[in-house]
Structure 1
């Protein structure tokens, strides 16, 4: 998904917008490629799960703690992630072909494993190994057809945006990747490091085997990970507590913890490359991305919205000339006819590739001295994953900034003041 988003952004369809000086704007947008119906999740995950299926007589595994009730729990107040102190540094994962294992002590019955900057605890009698096909961990339980796998999902989901999709589109995710599966519940919580985790729990029949399982999504900021497990119905109750222990125990090395949460008074936050900085409202979450086009990811306190804050794109010479005309007008309300022409040009470009259906009732503009903000919205098709999208473009005489927001338009409008504050507070640093 990340690659598709970036491709679309670079094409200037739902892109961050940066102009040069009013006399020399940068506009020229190639046609957007139509998204193909290919899996959104990393193919490596599918291959890893397939390997587990083959190893257990066609059974893909996924485990999750039984949920008491359906629905989305309230996310506790999050703080900036802090590393959990370790009594002893873990040896480097490269020292052995399998993740490092520390035998359990006391009555916990758990063993510790580390791989790729991630440490977790699993029941001591489980077999946990370095995953194949790029996964970090593969797990199985004795005398059981339960299997589980964990891997980096960042190649398709940009960091903590994965939490938004799990929290707000669980039915679609379950239906897209597990045909005939029934969603039983979802949950959002934080780990001991104050990192958000979302879980989708489901019942499903896989390769003729009836069972239960869950997807877990966890993101320390710039990166995101998925933990997937499944077991036959008659075995689920036995493995579910162990799966819960694994999920709750996941910790990240300090260098992976890039997520920050604004405290009282807000947080001034800049991207890793020094491209831009903005002020994050109290309780909102932010991380850098190391991507020059989309340098910041931001989410509201409960992940009902996720947005990508970006710069630098081209929208074509015709729209560019109209924008120049808008910005060259005397201060005050811009010419409505010119505004309508700009919207018409943007809508045409957003629609031409077939990836977006524009809802023109969401069109709006907000003028201030030396700048104008445009709002557009509709639905985007990201490799078959249909989601509401709202776009804000802030046009200025010295450049421009955009927000690409994933979320229900009504939720966007309910928090528009905060979104506009983020947008207008953004400063271009280079």
Structure 2
């Protein structure tokens, strides 16, 4: 079903198979997420029971070829992510962390043995992964991390701490990035390893239907082959972050579209001064402005997807889309809550829930400021990150 925000018939820009995928994921969200998300958000509960269903839909590692993964296109992945985030950012985050971060790290940088051991089971949802890069003192600047790994008698010994690590307390493996004598390296760490501890961060005002954790690593010992052989330096984790950032550009459009649809439905039904709210000029102006921004965000995400599938996507383009679309979505979510009025502060309606979630989405995988400076460096040729 076409949203009223599709002023330009952008559905015509998608293939039949892409629209079929969108319909399948949208039906799943309508059936399994929307009826329950208010309760999950209220109780700060991540519905782990959805994991096998997400796997059955082929959404875990959707864009990765081989190893039991669906091998879909970048646009396929974006479409699925957009529909999941229209339900809730927390559900989209699970698929993003599992596929674009943990699975992507192994797929891009792992040995053949690591790929065969982990990726098929992760695609089936039998193994959950997390991605440990951020630290309490190293967010936007991961090069300042203090987590370390040293090779000692044929074993890696990891020490340090990570923060804001999605899924860590329910994960079976963690991709941990640590400093070594040869530079930054990634490690596949079973979460039942002695010395590994993951603690959910509570209470939260955002991403409540998701899991974010503190990780402690105290003399965690791993075999020598636990290291990801294909990644040395920051390019390793950044290649995975770009996958996640690309997905966010699509997901934010889904959240914005859901806010638009809910506010429009409410405005058509709610009557004040003997007419529907939708009949007032100020309300119509809001709806028009939102629809225009959603259309631009959709075009931007789709253009990125087509470029990615053609092998022509550049890093600064991802920053442009992530910055623009999250900024657009959070403004629409806030204004849509205002159209719904006092009722909008309840969990009967989605915009304020989306707005709260988007505060996190806007921050992780690069803040507005970081992406602004990435674009500024691209435009001027001058890095503003360091003196």
Calculate the TM-score normalised by the size of structure 1: 0.23
**Structure 1 or 2: more strand by fraction:** 1
The structure with higher relative contact order (CA 8 Å, sep 6+) is: 1
Q: When the two structures are superposed, what TM-score results if normalisation uses the length of structure 2?
A: 0.25
